[in-house]
Amino acid sequence: MDGDDMLSLLHIDSGAPHSDGSVSRRLTSLFAEVWRREHAAAGYRYRDLVADPVPPVGPPYVDLGRRVERRGTVPLGEVEALAANAAERRDWARTLPLIEELHAAHTVLIGAPMYNFSVPAALKAWIDRITFPGAHVDPDSGEPLLRRTRVVVVTARGGAYGPGSPRHGCDFQEPYLRAYFREHLGVPEENQWYVHAEMTLAEHLPHLARFTEMAARSLADARERIASLAARDGRPVEAPQP
């Protein structure tokens, strides 16, 4: 990602559409709508991980990854030559476009409903595939290639997981994603943003009906934050080197 290029947004949805309407999809759509109005629409890319699922990694991916890892940081253009067979070449052909798409984005927008305290399997499959050894490190300098990329994660949660709630401490979604983007992809904390819409099931489940007003406030706050983040320039400041 080059800071002098036209602004670009990679919009990823991972929640299953359903008859009640996906809250995470509605919110990421709002972000994309505002972003495209404020910035160049030509820089917009969309990936639906449910309609077009990323195949889970398997033995060919692992074997190729280990071979590459033993050599240190290998430029992406040289990985295919290290494939030992057709299965590894096919797996790399599935992987490389996802990595290049990620590298091209100034902002990565991820819609992630909470499933069983964590992220959907569709999102985890994407994460596993793009986490190829050395893929996100400059082979010359050793610097993280995504150190100036902005990541915005929009979550939808049927319950409440904030401080003081009965399920505070059961959120394995935001902490996991924060650690993943920081440790594996080199995206610093100051370039990560998390927006939560909570109690989204209040209007659908009788035993949660008393939380309908709380859910409406949470959704309104999420929409306001999303619109503000989308309207920003979208060029994160590079984190200072230690």
Q: Is 83 a domain residue?
A: no
Q: Is 194 a domain residue?
A: yes
Q: Which pLDDT value is given to residue 85?
A: 98
Q: Is 144 a domain residue?
A: yes
For tokens 């990541």, name the residue.
151
pLDDT: is 163 or 179 the higher one? Answer: 179
Q: Which domain holds residue 171?
A: 9-49+96-231
Q: Using DSSP, how many helices (H) and how many strands (E) does the chain show?
A: 6, 5
Q: Is 65 a domain residue?
A: no
Annotation: binding site: 22-24, 114-117
Distance CA 197, CA 34 (A): 18
Q: Which pLDDT value is given to residue 67?
A: 96
Interior angle at CA 17, CA 223 and CA 43, nearest 5: 60
Instruction: Output the pTM of the full model.
Output: 0.91
Domain total for the chain?
A: 1
Q: Is 29 a domain residue?
A: yes
Flag whether pLDDT at 242 surpasses 70: no
Q: Which pLDDT value is given to residue 236?
A: 54
The CATH number that applies at residue 125 is 3.40.50.360
Contact 84, 63 (CB under 8 A): yes
Q: Is 61 a domain residue?
A: no
The least confident of 20-29, 101-110, 199-208, 210-219 is: 199-208
Q: Is 79 a domain residue?
A: no
Mean pLDDT, to the nearest integer, of 165-182? 92
List helix spans (H) across 8-163.
23-38, 59-70, 86-103, 121-130
Q: Is 62 a domain residue?
A: no
Annotation: binding site for FMN: 22-24, 114-117
